[in-house]
Amino acid sequence: MTSSGPILPPELDSSAVTLYLLALQDGELTKEAATTETGLPVEQVVRSIMTLENNRLLAPAAGSPGLWLPINPEVAAARVVEPMEDVIRTYQHSADNTRERLLQLMPAYLARSGDSLTSGRQSVETVTDVDEVRILIRDASDKCSKELMTVHPSIRRDATASEGALSQNLEIITRGVRMRVLYQHTVRADLPMYSYASTLVSAGAQIRTADQLTERMLIFDRRTVFIPKWSNRDQVPGAVIVREPVLVSFLCSLFEQFWLTAVPFGTEGPGYGSATDDLRRSILRLLGQGLKDEGVARKLGMSVRTCRRHIAVLMAELGAESRFEAGVKAAQLGLLKEGSGE
């Protein structure tokens, strides 16, 4: 099989569309009539007729040189696309065969470690190469058939999520996979991430937000879990892949704990909405523990500037002269309990 595919027909420009509509109107088309009725230059008419022929929308009339007949677009599309679909099927067949041949070596790869806790598979595998991590996550996503649970404790990477990541998630949802996503409350006030999350919710995903979350985590079908392996906090992490059933069950339970106490994400518009009280309690609780502004912001996944704005409002409401005093006063007033209002 050669690497070259079928030659793509040229795109239809406005002149080609005009000539096709004229051919439909008259039932036929000639170069002379096209030039006269459209006012287009002869050279443009010739190019447009060639474009329509290459797109199978015009066909020369048998026995009538210089005369073209319009073709049903559905028939034209079938004729143009068929060679492409043949190539796609060929590549898909080759890809399947290649995957099958390579995966025959997977048991040997997984068994390379002598401390494997499960037969033929590593229960806990560490992958440091970032590109390999992406490939493994993509493969797990493609094979996911029932449920995908993800935890994203920070919006810094997700705020610039690519169209490819969005289309991949939408494709997973379209397959009927139940998708549940946990973000921090700050996703509600970040416009790019709010739009991203709203699109997922509209497609059928379930999203909730919490004040604080554990490390990033992806759980596929309650069988495989990806958690980050950090070598340097300023670099993209590798991954630890967990397959051991007991550990996977524990991580699923951890997810469920966060899910039960998290606040459902709504698409009513950017803003903290129903998560406001939860967020304010968290800020006050962390201040009461003596954390600095930077520490509070890091815990809650927000910018230091935004965090300081929230703290200033809370201090004014409580009549506190210091951040620590604000946390202590909130505790004394019972404002850190669930269901209380600030």
Is 115 inside a domain boundary? Answer: no
Of 104, 128, 150, the last residue of a domain is 104
Whether 285 and 250 share a structural domain: no
Is 111 inside a domain boundary? Answer: no
Overall number of domains in the chain: 3
Whether 220 and 255 share a structural domain: yes
d(CA 220, CA 226) in angstroms, rounded, equals 9
Whether 223 and 191 share a structural domain: yes
Express the helix, strand and coil content of the chain in percent, nearest 5 each. 55, 15, 30
Contact of 19 with 34, CB cutoff 8 Å = yes
Please list the ranges in the chain whose pLDDT falls under 70. 1-6, 106-122, 154-164, 189, 231-235, 267-280, 284, 287-288, 299-303, 314-315, 317-319, 321, 323, 326-342
Return the pLDDT at 159. 41
CATH at 51: 1.10.10.10
Is 169 inside a domain boundary? Answer: yes
CATH at 244: 3.30.870.10
Return the pLDDT at 157. 46
Indicate the Cα dihedral angle 288, 289, 293, 295, nearest 10°: -150
Whether 77 and 141 share a structural domain: no
Return the pLDDT at 161. 46
Return the pLDDT at 267. 60
Return the pLDDT at 177. 92
Whether 259 and 291 share a structural domain: no
Which DSSP letter does residue 61 get?
A: P
Whether 76 and 209 share a structural domain: no
Is 341 inside a domain boundary? Answer: no
d(CA 4, CA 90) in angstroms, rounded, equals 12
Whether 246 and 291 share a structural domain: no
Residue 233 domain boundaries: 120-264
Whether 44 and 137 share a structural domain: no
Whether 27 and 86 share a structural domain: yes
Is 65 inside a domain boundary? Answer: yes
Of 240, 264, 288, the last residue of a domain is 264
Whether 245 and 217 share a structural domain: yes
Is 168 inside a domain boundary? Answer: yes
* Cβ-proximal residues to 144 (8 Å cutoff; 6+ apart), any chain: 172, 177, 220, 221
Nearest CA-CA partner of 200 in 153, 161, 252, 236: 161
Whether 62 and 157 share a structural domain: no
Whether 46 and 100 share a structural domain: yes
* Tokens standing for residue 36: 């006269």
d(CA 262, CA 49) in angstroms, rounded, equals 61
d(CA 38, CA 48) in angstroms, rounded, equals 12
Is 338 inside a domain boundary? Answer: no
Whole-angstrom Cα Rg for the chain: 30
Of 104, 138, 157, the last residue of a domain is 104
Establish how many alpha carbons lie within 13 A of residue 255's alpha carbon, considering only the half-sphere containing its beta carbon.
27
Return the pLDDT at 111. 60
Mind giving me the DSSP string for 72-137? Answer: -HHHHHHHHHHHHHHHHHHHHHHHHHHHHHHHTTHHHHHTTSTT--BTTB-SEEEE--HHHHHHHH
Is 110 inside a domain boundary? Answer: no
pTM, full prediction = 0.51
